[in-house]
């Protein structure tokens, strides 16, 4: 389930980059390669190598002349929905399951406002995520894209958080010059 979320969220995030003025990579082949490197870095544990990092930075430096601050902003824009929001979502799910009532952190509310303002997500998606936590509290399954029933439990939330932490570390490594 987390892999499906990451794919959807990454796709939406990559589509939204141009609205931030970072669509300076005018070579379609290079743009596609940057997206593929980021996507594969997030999806596959053993993908990121020194050669992949070097290729990524060669392409970035070729097309983008940005400061370290702009680089941090770009990294956040590319991963806010897939990493930061999902971390808050699963943390809130875990807290909700432990407390037996719906919990939404200020951090998740704040990032939701950011994602909505920048058209990276929709009100529908946010409401759907809240409903997933409510279903988890009630022990009701959700359907994945393949029609499989999934139950969100504390163990699922812990596993998702662990996986997201590993993804964050890989992305941090990719974006470190």
Long-range contacts, stretch 41-45, CB < 8 angstroms, 24+ apart: 41/170, 41/171, 41/174, 42/6, 42/10, 42/79, 42/82, 42/83, 42/167, 42/170, 42/171, 43/3, 43/6, 43/7, 45/166, 45/170
What are the φ/ψ torsions at residue 142 (nearest 5 degrees)?
-120, 160
Given this model, what pLDDT does residue 26 score? 58
Q: Taken in order 88, 93, 96, 98, is the CA torsion positive or negative?
A: negative
What are the φ/ψ torsions at residue 64 (nearest 5 degrees)?
-115, 125
- The predicted-structure confidence for 86-115, as pLDDT tens digits, reads as follows 999 999 999 999 999 999 999 999 999 999
Q: Mean of the per-residue pLDDT values for the chain?
A: 84
Given this model, what pLDDT does residue 27 score? 72
Give percent above pLDDT 70 in the chain. Answer: 85
Question: Exposed, middle or buried by CB within 10 Å (0-12, 13-18, 19+), for 167?
Answer: buried
Question: Of the ranges 24-28, 39-43, 78-82, 146-150, which one carries the lowest mean pLDDT score?
Answer: 24-28
The structure tokens listed for 150 are: 């999934």
- The predicted-structure confidence for 162-175, as pLDDT tens digits, reads as follows 999 999 999 999 99
Whether the pLDDT of residue 176 is over 70: the answer is yes
């Amino acid at each position: 389930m987390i892999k499906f979320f990451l794919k959807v969220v990454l796709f939406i995030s990559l589509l939204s980059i141009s609205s931030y003025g970072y669509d300076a990579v005018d070579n379609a082949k290079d743009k596609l390669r940057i997206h593929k490197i980021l996507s594969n870095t997030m999806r596959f544990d053993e993908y990121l190598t020194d050669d992949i990092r070097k290729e990524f930075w060669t392409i970035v430096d070729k097309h983008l002349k940005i400061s370290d601050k702009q680089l941090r902003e770009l990294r956040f824009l590319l991963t806010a929905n897939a990493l930061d929001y999902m971390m808050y979502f699963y943390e809130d799910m875990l807290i909700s399951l432990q407390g037996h009532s719906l919990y939404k952190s200020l951090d998740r509310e704040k990032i939701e406002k950011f994602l909505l303002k920048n058209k990276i997500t929709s009100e529908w998606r946010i409401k759907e995520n809240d409903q997933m936590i409510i279903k988890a509290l009630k022990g009701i399954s959700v359907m994945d894209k393949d029609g499989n029933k999934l139950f969100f439990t504390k163990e699922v939330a812990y596993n998702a958080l662990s996986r997201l932490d590993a993804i964050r570390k890989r992305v941090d490594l990719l974006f470190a010059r």
